Structure 1
């Protein structure tokens, strides 16, 4: 499995915060100590940004300074942090699509997720979109330039490589609202629905949440829960203004409960397949 620099930055931020908390030090005190030692430039709020994973390429000098302050002297442990910092500084393939993906924060996490559980209210999940549907979605978002549209589609298709045959990608469980299926343009609906049927396997399942289910706990909108082998889970949501990530254990637990309720309200996997098959043009 490819290593995600996004996940490595998140891990590095968390571990540095845990080191500080274990020493009982405040961010203000650590910043003052770093300034006194004169290793790196330490502006007000810098440590908070580091611990909140609000950095792009972690500084080796900054990490070494923090390890010194926290009393990390074991050579093997310091080397592990040096390796983690190096991996966190790498750039992923999505950097080449920064014009359409921005920082690619979600894509970077998606790359190394062990499992992805997603509920989509209005669109088919990105990993399960055909090229034609991805193109239609992009036009629906108001993009009119053909070259820009193709950039979006290329990036979307590149994301799907984690699900390619033989790839050690994540297990995926997708719950798709019936409303999302009905919004697929008629001229490409059959192709997209056939893809949802054909792509399924033991590690990739689709459930349909029918209109008949009525109101449910996820009426507030779509979200995805990403689980990792060696890191805490993340909940991802997006709106017209921003990508939102939730990592607090209480928030994670709430979203997992909501997902379980929605999953229970959805059709079973076999019934969902029958539902999709019935939508195909006879």
Structure 2
């Protein structure tokens, strides 16, 4: 039994299936809402996965209208039950943005994540000291306690690399990430050594774009592409921009990020040569 399960993914999966069922039934959302005597916005919110709880009885009523068989109805009702569970990240809801908590919730059961970082080591691969130095510099308005709580969240995310099944990580970094003295020489030395160790895991691939590769298509922002084990679960992108975080699910936009990641992989040194770069101090 997999240990990596996410109520966030269950809710997302349920919302997608509800939209599909209504489309297959060739019904407008207003028509369905009227038949159930619901406010018109209720079904819209459910299909957009807005909110954190689905009522199992509501799912049963929708299945009756859409004419689903017993097996599918039971499956959807179980998704609703699973979606009501609490993830380990729920206690941190108030201190993290909605986009961030959604990303963490989906990452918790993703099969793989494609990561590009031009400025910092990806959170999944950071040491605690490095994470502290990054957060202290970028969140000067936070107390030491608040910073430590965010670091705890980041360290907890890293458990996914060692759970069953493990999260697969394909990370491309700009060489500047390795040369910037975040936290000082000792912190960076430990961070590079940690990168070398995790890069030897069978589920982690690290590639570095060397300085001599010149300009590349990822110089403007970092991004993460989440991929899921079930074919029906669509890929999603999380970006961290100066203006704030964004969570992207629109298919055409996600494809653009996939194309950009492939270009970045093409510009990067091979995993073997990357180990040499990590060793070069």
Please say whether Structure 1 and Structure 2 have the same fold, judged by a TM-score greater than 0.5: yes
Q: Rate the CA distance shift 1:167–1:71 in 2: closer, same or farther, 3 A.
A: closer
Matches within 5 A, 1:1-282: 1=2, 2-35=4-37, 42-72=38-68, 74-103=69-98, 104-143=101-140, 144-164=142-162, 167-183=164-180, 184-187=182-185, 188-200=187-199, 201-230=201-230, 231-279=233-281
Q: Distance in 2 between matches of 1:167 and 1:22?
A: 36
Q: Distance in 1 between matches of 2:189 and 2:53?
A: 44
Q: Rate the CA distance shift 1:43–1:220 in 2: closer, same or farther, 3 A.
A: farther
After superposition, the C-alpha distances for 1:207-239 in whole angstroms (9 at most, x for unaligned) are 111222222222331111111111221122123
8 Å contact kept, 1:111–1:169: no
**Deviation (angstroms), 1:177:** 1.2
Q: Distance in 2 between matches of 1:45 and 1:213?
A: 51
Q: Distance in 1 between matches of 2:190 and 2:204?
A: 18
**Deviation (angstroms), 1:241:** 4.8
- Residues 24-33 or 3-12, more deviating: 24-33
**Deviation (angstroms), 1:61:** 2.7
**Deviation (angstroms), 1:242:** 4.1
Q: Distance in 2 between matches of 1:180 and 1:100?
A: 27
After superposition, the C-alpha distances for 1:166-225 in whole angstroms (9 at most, x for unaligned) are 542211110011222233232411011110001122210111112222222223311111
**Deviation (angstroms), 1:244:** 2.1
Where in structure 1 are there 5+ consecutive unaligned residues? 36-41
SS of the residue aligned with 1:92?
A: coil
After superposition, the C-alpha distances for 1:78-100 in whole angstroms (9 at most, x for unaligned) are 11111111001111000122243
8 Å contact kept, 1:112–1:169: no
Where in structure 2 are there 5+ consecutive unaligned residues? none
Q: Distance in 2 between matches of 1:130 and 1:215?
A: 28
Q: Distance in 2 between matches of 1:31 and 1:220?
A: 44
SS of the residue aligned with 2:120?
A: coil
Across the two proteins, how many residue pairs are aligned to each other? 271
SS of the residue aligned with 1:212?
A: helix
Q: Rate the CA distance shift 1:236–1:50 in 2: closer, same or farther, 3 A.
A: same
8 Å contact kept, 2:222–2:241: no
8 Å contact kept, 1:175–1:207: yes
TM-score between the two structures when normalised by the length of structure 2:
0.90
SS of the residue aligned with 1:172?
A: strand
Tell me how large the CA RMSD over aligned residues is: 1.7
Q: Distance in 1 between matches of 2:85 and 2:219?
A: 38
Q: Distance in 2 between matches of 1:145 and 1:232?
A: 37
